[in-house]
Amino acid sequence: MQASVESISKDEFLEGQVLLIDKPLGWTSFQAVNSVKWTIRKKFQLKKIKIGHAGTLDPLATGLLVVCTGKFTKKIAELQGQLKEYTGTMTLGATTPSYDLETEVQEFANTDGLNKQEILQTTAQFTGIIQQKPPLFSALKKDGKRLYEYAREGKEVEIPSRSVEILVFEITGVKMPNVHFRVVCSKGTYMRSLAHDFGKALGVGAHLSALRRTKIGDYYVDNAVDPTIFRELLLKE
């Protein structure tokens, strides 16, 4: 569990801290980190402080951002390699270009023929080391340009598959068309792609309709604080 925010001193922030931030829905990871940075600078009248995070969350996802300050920013690469845990919801029978709700549904399919057993059995196809293509609507770069820039221009671009590892893929509830899940996976795994590919395997399509990151390595979201609360705690008189 991280130390109480208000008890951390200026020197401790500069020397290095690992802060657990619970990113709100609709915020970018950059906005969350920037909010934390602004708060620390304002509190201690600092012109600058090193700060970064160990793994981006999409704006429509919530949950754990591990934020490092000062010399602890050197730990970011190591933290990014840790296993991650997510909980979320896939909506079957509807696909979107972004594989989530950032874009509107383009295609619908009838899910009446699906049963819970078929859904549970299909998880086996996505457990272990699998090949996965990142979504076109992602911040990965190709030829110096981010993939989402190609997507917004309506351009086709070839995205190579890559190996990722899914250690746990558990269906925690089915209330059609929504399927709730828990996943433990390696660095570089896209939950949006998992939802898209899962729907494809079932023959009805799917998109990711909710996502929360609950754990990175040994760090839990239960010990994290909303950036707005972080600000209130650190700046309170």
Residues annotated as part of the active site: 58
Rounded-to-integer distance, Cα 208 and Cα 89, Å? 6
Question: Which alpha helices (DSSP H) does the chain contain, by range?
Answer: 10-15, 29-44, 76-80, 116-122, 147-152, 191-202, 227-235
CB 2 within 8 Å of CB 10: no
Distances (CA, A) of 115 to 110, 118, 123, 174, 185: 12, 6, 14, 9, 26
Identity of residue 162? R
Rounded-to-integer distance, Cα 142 and Cα 146, Å? 6
DSSP secondary structure, 32-60, as one string = HHHHHHHHHHHHHT-S---EEESS---TT
3-state secondary structure of 217: coil
CB atoms within 10 A of CB 84: 22
Q: Is 83 exposed, middle or buried (0-12, 13-18, 19+ CB in 10 A)?
A: middle
Please tell me the number of Cα atoms within 13 Å of 135 on its side-chain side: 26
